[in-house]
Structure 1
Amino acid sequence: MTVLDELLPISIEMAKRNLTGVWNFTNPGVVSHNEILEMYRDYVDPNFKWTNFTLEEQAKVIVAPRSNNELNAPKLKEFPEMLPIKESILKYVFMPKRKVG
């Protein structure tokens, strides 16, 4: 997963440094669908509830089977300030929307 608020400024720095070639432009690490929903509940709407599909139910409503992948992005270690995906999602997506009180 990629948090563009964090990676777009890195792309500008990459251009300044003339870094070229194939880059997996993604935050390091993985995050699941349920983890995203939990963050939404915890930071935006404490009353939010969801129900997961079973694999059989999911297969009936999608065209192709889902895959879960983690892209290898060792070149981005050139930017040690980049956050792992879960931390980046919290910082750039959920913390700004956090409901207080």
Structure 2
Amino acid sequence: MSILDELLPISVETVKRNLHGIWNFTNPSVVSHNEILEMNKAYIDPDFKWINFTVEEQTKVIVAPRSNIEMDASNLKEEFPELLYIKESLIKYVFEPNKNTSFGGKAK
């Protein structure tokens, strides 16, 4: 997962530094759907509720199978040590700025 508010300035810096090679342009680490939904509940809408699909139910409604992989962002993190891990970046750039707003839910 990539948080563009954080990564776009880094992309400009990669050009300024004349960096070459293959770069997985993503925040390091992983986050699950349930973790994001829990963050939504904690920061945006405490009344938010959801029901998870089973894998069998999911396969009936999606066109292609899901792949849950972690992209290797170690070279990006090494070059830009200030780059946040995905959960921290979600909180800083998505959930904190929208805390107690109507973003994604009812107004508070």
Q: Under TM normalisation by the shorter chain, which class is it? A: over 0.9
Please give the alpha-carbon distance, in whole angstroms, between the structure 1 residues aligned to 2:80 and 2:21.
16
How many matched pairs? Answer: 101
Map Cα deviations across residues 18-43 of structure 1 (whole Å, 9 max, x no partner).
01221100111000000000000100
Q: Residue type of the partner of 1:24?
A: N
Percentage identity across paired residues of the two chains:
68
Residues in 2 aligned to 1:98 and 1:79: alpha-carbon distance in whole angstroms: 27
Q: What SS is found at the alignment partner of 2:10?
A: helix
- Counterpart Cα distance in 1 of 2:17 and 2:29: 25
* 1:37 paired to 2:47: no
Report the CA distance between 1:67 and its aligned residue: 1.1
- The letter of the residue matching 1:11 is S
- Unpaired segments ≥5 residues, structure 2: 102-107
Cα root mean square deviation, aligned: 1.3
Tell me the residue number matched to 1:51: 51
What is the CA–CA distance in structure 1 between the aligned matches of 2:92 and 2:73, rounded to whole Å?
A: 21
Q: Which whole-Å CA distance do the structure 1 matches of 2:17 and 2:56 have between them?
A: 48
Cα distance in 2 between the residues matched to 1:74 and 1:41: 30
Q: TM-score, normalised by structure 2?
A: 0.90
Find the aligned partners of 2:84 and 2:52 in 1 and give their Cα distance. Answer: 28
Q: Which runs of 4+ in 1 moved over 4 A?
A: none
TM-score, normalised relative to structure 1: 0.96
Name the residue aligned to 1:10: 10
Structure 1: runs of 5+ lacking an equivalent: none
Q: Structure with the greater relative contact order (CA < 8 A, sep ≥ 6): 1 or 2?
A: 1
Q: Which amino acid aligns with 1:97?
A: N
- Inter-partner Cα distance in structure 2 for 1:83 and 1:74: 12
